[in-house]
Chains A and B, each alone.
Chain A
Amino acid sequence: MRRQVPGAFDEVYARYRETIWRFLRRLSGREGVAEDLFQDTWLAVARNAHRLREDTQLLPWLFTIARNKHRNGVRFRLFDRKRREQASAEPAAGHAEVEADADARRRAAKVAGAFARLPEVYREVLLLFFEEGLTTESVARILELREDAVRKRLSRARSELARLLELPEREGK
């Protein structure tokens, strides 16, 4: 991509578009916002591909752009506060797919609602580490934090999610 080899962008896009979509969709919690961020992210990728270094790790770089687009959006600042207020005030209405088992539906909705009530900084670190399986080193690079700060944030995020889900906390990690 850095050398603008034909087809390189298409290959990267095909490989990572679902990953970036999943991250932005879960982070933002809203389809319309996620679509705007997704487009902004890939346009930024196209504009800045020439700045890639030989040793740049592609996936963390993509996540960095996506995460920064989410954080920097003016709409995000208004949206995140409103989203959390709404999530607290209303019964949790998740986007879980319909399942035959009513209990499973309730559990899925509870998880989605609890996740939606987390602050953005907790959601992003949980998604990057647990969902995308990145190392704390990669997460630290994306979030521009020290590694120990990432571990602390992960610990707090886990505790907060456990509290919202009424789960027993686990030590470690």
Chain B
Amino acid sequence: MIDRDPITSAIASLDTPPLEPRFAARVAARARLELRARARPPARGSSFFLGMGARLVPALLTLAALAQTAATGRTAAKIYARVEAAPSP
């Protein structure tokens, strides 16, 4: 229960002009636009590319690793061939 002392009465007596209805309606309309903007799902294109990227990146990394391994293998084979061909001391 609010105590009706002079301070409480004084504050309660403060006059406040009412909220203008048309202004209130405009604010509500703008706020609803904000809500709709937040609720909109992300563009389908962007999720497609994200999905593709998620699959492509590991595949590219695997290919790069295989290529590097193959190159290393060829180099090793060349070195071995030279060693085989070189006359023995």
Residues of A within 8 A of B (CB): 4, 9-10, 13, 17-18, 21-22, 25-26, 31, 35, 38-39, 42-43, 45-47, 49-50, 94-97, 107-108, 111-112, 114-115, 126-127, 130-131, 133, 158, 161-162, 165, 167, 170, 173
Contact B38 A111, beta carbon cutoff 8 Å: no
Contact A46 B34, beta carbon cutoff 8 Å: yes
Chain A residue at smallest Cβ distance from B20: A35
Contact B15 A4, beta carbon cutoff 8 Å: no
The binding surface of chain B is classed by DSSP as helix
Chain A residue at smallest Cβ distance from B23: A35
B32 within 8 A of A: yes
Q: How many residues of B contact A (CB 8 A)?
A: 27
What distance in Å separates the Cβ of B42 from its nearest Cβ neighbour in chain A?
15
Given the complex of chains A and B, what is the CA–CA distance between A167 and B27 in angstroms? Answer: 40
A31, A42, A47: the one within 8 Å of B28 (CB): A42
B12 contacts which chain A residues (CB < 8 A)? 130-131
Residues of B within 8 A of A (CB): 2-3, 5-8, 10-19, 23-24, 27-28, 30-32, 34-35, 38-39
A130 contacts which chain B residues (CB < 8 A)? 2, 7-8, 11-12
Given the complex of chains A and B, what is the CA–CA distance between A120 and B17 in angstroms? Answer: 20
The binding surface of chain A is classed by DSSP as helix
Contact B11 A115, beta carbon cutoff 8 Å: yes
Given the complex of chains A and B, what is the CA–CA distance between A21 and B16 in angstroms? Answer: 9
